[in-house]
Structure 1
Amino acid sequence: MQRGITQNIASLGISQVVSKVLVYAFLIMITRSLGSELLGIFAYLLNFIIIFDVVMDYGMTPYMVKTIPGDKGQSASYFLCPLIIKYSLAVLLASCVLLYGFFIELDPVKQNAMKYAVIVLFTWPFFNSVISVFQAYERQDLYGIIYIVRNSLLLIITYIFLSQGMKVGAPLLGYAVSAFIAAFAGVFWIQKRFFTIYGTGKIKAGIITGLLRSGLPFFVSTFITALYLRIDILMLSWIRGDIETGLFKASQQILEGLLLIPFVVGNTIFPVLSRIVTEDKEQFAEIYKKSVKFLLFLVLPISVFITLTAKDIIGIMYGLKEYSGSIAALQLLVWYLVPNYLNYVSLYSLYAYSKQKQVLVVIATGFLFKAGLTLFLVPWLGYIGSCYTGIASECIILAGYSYYGKNPFARYFPWKDSLRITAASAGMFIILWLITPYTSFWLKIPFALLIYGAAVFIMRAISINEVKSIAASLAKGQ
């Protein structure tokens, strides 16, 4: 069983990396094709779609994952009943969007884009229900394959639409069509391997009421989290318009791929922390320390390097003509990764202590702080204000997690090692800053690795054996 869990996690990790690469290619393609203003419109609509998707799910996914494999006689019904609820909510939300577009005077580009966004609303519930089945049967391999299929289609279909002259509608239709095709492929797998949907699933009032009742707590949690993650783009668009939203989005999406690192580490250590939290506090402390040290060892030099090479990165990925304004945003926003990486370890540690309610309080506080600071900074500083808001809100989240986990976190945090890693990163910054005018971007990469490696060795921040030990501990955690 342990071996199967390990293989599932490994399969999911590999598929997530592949999916991230495909999404990265998709984002670079549309960013270069649309320009900052149209990218701002797309980012605004996509963030609304994601929030609406949380509303349509209504926290039902955990209930589906729990019940579908347990009652084989009603598996099809547990698949169909959530779809009924999701599409009822989709009709309601789509009607609101269309009415908004009808009564509020918008330019033709936005009006047209909103219609494509409505199409996406009617395809994502189907796709999400299909992948919930794979989660329920612990088939992370199929779960990952479906995402790879969807993201591959997203890249290809969007490219075709862009080549035909479409603008904002191209990525939105790409999302809709790719999700629809991938979902049908998933249904084929479900029919073949798990249960028959057609002819056996029935709509039952008892299941629907059970879904609505049990889904509410999960919905509140996921909805608040979604608002916290998406409010910056939405408020920036409302206050400063599409161009600044596009410039901010262009810098933000460069960093999104780097969030996979703490996500994988957190998901790896969580099962172990949950098991040993009351049994072996010394091992808990060791895993916590190693995870924090490992993430700081990665995130600090990454942040330093991106700060010094932001102009090169923006130029290579998007072109400086349209996105030169994103350079300063990237140089600032990259530093939100530092508290964010630490937040992942703290989050999963709090989950291990069964402090889910406290986590929700912290995220809700972070959302209110982020919204309030955005209202203060963005009218004054524009999208640069959103960068400061992102860093400050992650620090507030970190402070909240530290407060609720103050006993274990204060005892276990590797302060001395963290200071050494910080000093090594500072040394790397100084030397790399001095040689930056005389080297190309591609030469800066090996120079940065050599300089940081030497600084780490001199400061004795972390040894090769420690890196191997951390990797082994994480692998054991799987």
Structure 2
Amino acid sequence: MAQKSIRYNYFLNIFRIGFGILAGLFTMPYINRVIGVEGLGKVEYVNSIIAYFVLFSALGIPMYGIRETANRRDNLKEKSKLVIELLSILFVTSLVSYLIIFFVIINIHSLLDLKPLIVIMSSTIFFSNIGIEWFYQGIEDQRYITIRFIIVRIISLILLFLLVKEPKDYLNYGIIVVLSSVGGNIFNILYLKKHLSFKGFTIKDLNFKRHLKPILTIFVASISVSIYVQLDVLMLGSLKGSTSVGYYVMANKLIRFTIIFIVTLGSVLLPRLSYLISNDKEQYVVYVKKSLNYFLIIAFPFTVIFLTLAEDFTLLLGGQEFLPSIITMKILSPIIIIVSIAYFIGYLILYPQGKENIYTIAVIISAIISVIANFFLIPILGHIGAAIIAVSSELVGVLIMILLYYKELSKLELISVNILYYIIASFIMFLTIFFISYFNIDPLVNIVISSILGFLSFFLFLFIMKEEIFLSIVLDLKSRLNQN
């Protein structure tokens, strides 16, 4: 199939994630006020439980599938065999997951009141695994992914305002959460026949064993990451109740919107880097260096935004009921930069080079620290303690990866003057927003004005310093405008 350019794929991802963020920001105030802290806490608590079953049933196949599909994208037979083999493994793990879920519901009495919500949201397992999103990422079919995403999100938005009107409608909200995140995956199976052919080989030709070691290695890393991404919500719900979960999720969800934006941009590069590492090492290094700067040029200003405008975002999106979320959002803001670096090293350097074991070691250690620290801090500090541990765990993971792979990382010469520019630009942006805050204006107006002037000051400094990534974006936009 024709290979789309990185720039084209970036554009589609930016458009898709931008649409998702805007939809999330648009609906968040409505959900927070209609469902309330307790209702939101119930849905997010159950969602955190189901997330572990989704992770278990998927093993390490999503990340492994992207890399292996990219490596086989020019071989129809091998690509088709890969999909059949991985889908078969997913069928078995999904069945086991559902058996465990029903056992848990029956035997854990504290979850009986949440039984309907658990049943509803457990459908995420089925839709996630039949969706084989990893295949479409691997062949870089971003156009299809984007179209499907937008259609499903629009339908979800309509259903949200039609079916969620009061606190007791949290079950309907749970259905919509499933639909908006993975409901569209049913179309992936129908669209699959366009890309694959199952003729020319039999069941005897399938080799499941060859996948077990790499997917289990990636799975261990994934489950470890999920421990310090999801365990905080799970432990908050168990130790402090739904209200604390609501406070934490209010801040964490907004921060994660930005992180998802950055991570998804990185997923565009993963299949291309996996292909280049074996075919064009020089071009691989070029892409790696640029991707780090792209991550940071997004991460730094958004960190400043959430650090300085935490109160305004909380009042606008949650109201007075969510005021305790302010300090949580400020604590979590640096996690955007930390996760960007972690994702860059783990998924864009280690995975394409087959060094996922280093990433696995790093996240296992981070997860252990997270579990122990959360056990002691959450009972004392609640959602604030969970935020502190979330940031600390991610930072530990980054430091371990750098330490274990320092020799190879140093060869890539990733540290440049651009990073210093981002730091200085962030400080200028911070001062700009801090000055605007003295006028005590309406939260919405303050967010709009501060964001516009803050980003303007950030990128103006980069333009003055002739920072290469920002200049390349400006020149590209100028070129496209001239063509039109």
TM-score (norm 2): 0.79
CA gap 1:443/1:241 in 2 versus in 1, 3 angstroms: same
Question: For residues 13-28 of structure 1, what are the structure 2 equivalents within 5 Å?
Answer: 13-28=14-29
Q: Does 1:97 align with 2:100?
A: no
Corresponding position of 1:322: 321
Say which of 123, 140, 148 aligns to 1:146.
148
Q: Does the aligned pair in 2 maintain the 1:424–1:452 contact within 8 Å?
A: yes
Q: Does the aligned pair in 1 maintain the 2:34–2:165 contact within 8 Å?
A: no
Q: Does the aligned pair in 1 maintain the 2:301–2:429 contact within 8 Å?
A: yes
Corresponding position of 1:119: 120
Q: Does 1:45 align with 2:52?
A: no
Q: Does 1:443 align with 2:449?
A: yes
Offset at residue 432 of structure 1 (A): 3.2
CA gap 1:208/1:144 in 2 versus in 1, 3 angstroms: farther
Corresponding position of 1:275: 276
CA gap 1:210/1:143 in 2 versus in 1, 3 angstroms: farther
Hey, what's the Cα distance between the residues in 2 that align with 1:74 and 1:301? 44
Offset at residue 261 of structure 1 (A): 4.3
Q: Does 1:339 align with 2:345?
A: no
Offset at residue 463 of structure 1 (A): 1.7
Corresponding position of 1:367: 367
Hey, what's the Cα distance between the residues in 2 that align with 1:60 and 1:33? 37
- For structure 1, the 5+ residue unaligned runs are 474-478
Hey, what's the Cα distance between the residues in 2 that align with 1:228 and 1:54? 13
- For structure 2, the 5+ residue unaligned runs are 477-484
Offset at residue 247 of structure 1 (A): 0.4
Match of 1:389, as an amino acid? Answer: I
CA gap 1:79/1:371 in 2 versus in 1, 3 angstroms: closer
Q: Does the aligned pair in 2 maintain the 1:190–1:196 contact within 8 Å?
A: no
CA gap 1:277/1:393 in 2 versus in 1, 3 angstroms: farther
Cα deviation, 1:414-436, whole Å, max 9, x if unaligned, reads: 36543443233224323432341
Hey, what's the Cα distance between the residues in 1 that align with 2:281 and 2:192? 41
Offset at residue 228 of structure 1 (A): 3.2
Hey, what's the Cα distance between the residues in 1 that align with 2:21 and 2:379? 33
Match of 1:469, as an amino acid? Answer: S
Q: Does 1:467 align with 2:470?
A: yes
Match of 1:325, as an amino acid? Answer: P
Say which of 188, 191, 199 aligns to 1:189.
191
Q: Does the aligned pair in 2 maintain the 1:265–1:291 contact within 8 Å?
A: no
Q: Does 1:170 align with 2:169?
A: no
Corresponding position of 1:312: 312
Cα deviation, 1:199-250, whole Å, max 9, x if unaligned, reads: x9xx979969659846544433332332232111112222222111110100
Question: For residues 360-439 of structure 1, what are the structure 2 equivalents within 5 Å?
Answer: 360-410=360-410, 412-414=413-415, 416-438=417-439
CA gap 1:155/1:410 in 2 versus in 1, 3 angstroms: same
Hey, what's the Cα distance between the residues in 1 that align with 2:227 and 2:467? 41
Hey, what's the Cα distance between the residues in 1 that align with 2:18 and 2:435? 34
Q: Does the aligned pair in 1 maintain the 2:292–2:341 contact within 8 Å?
A: yes
Hey, what's the Cα distance between the residues in 1 that align with 2:454 and 2:65? 48
Number of matched pairs: 458
Corresponding position of 1:88: 95
Deviating more after overlay: 393-402 vs 212-221: 212-221
CA gap 1:142/1:465 in 2 versus in 1, 3 angstroms: closer
CA gap 1:217/1:451 in 2 versus in 1, 3 angstroms: closer
Hey, what's the Cα distance between the residues in 1 that align with 2:16 and 2:169? 29
CA gap 1:244/1:80 in 2 versus in 1, 3 angstroms: closer
Q: Does the aligned pair in 1 maintain the 2:240–2:382 contact within 8 Å?
A: yes
Q: Does 1:129 align with 2:136?
A: no
CA gap 1:97/1:335 in 2 versus in 1, 3 angstroms: same
Q: Does the aligned pair in 2 maintain the 1:69–1:75 contact within 8 Å?
A: no
Q: Does 1:226 align with 2:226?
A: yes
Hey, what's the Cα distance between the residues in 2 that align with 1:387 and 1:367? 14
TM-score (norm 1): 0.80
Q: Does the aligned pair in 2 maintain the 1:11–1:141 contact within 8 Å?
A: yes
Hey, what's the Cα distance between the residues in 1 that align with 2:117 and 2:216? 29
RMSD between superposed Cα atoms in Å: 4.0
Aligned-residue sequence identity (percent) comes to 18
Cα deviation, 1:314-335, whole Å, max 9, x if unaligned, reads: 122222x211111111111111
Q: Tell me, what secondary structure is at the counterpart of 2:106?
A: helix
Q: Does 1:70 align with 2:77?
A: yes
Offset at residue 125 of structure 1 (A): 1.6
Match of 2:171, as an amino acid? Answer: G
CA gap 1:98/1:73 in 2 versus in 1, 3 angstroms: same
Q: Tell me, what secondary structure is at the counterpart of 2:342?
A: helix
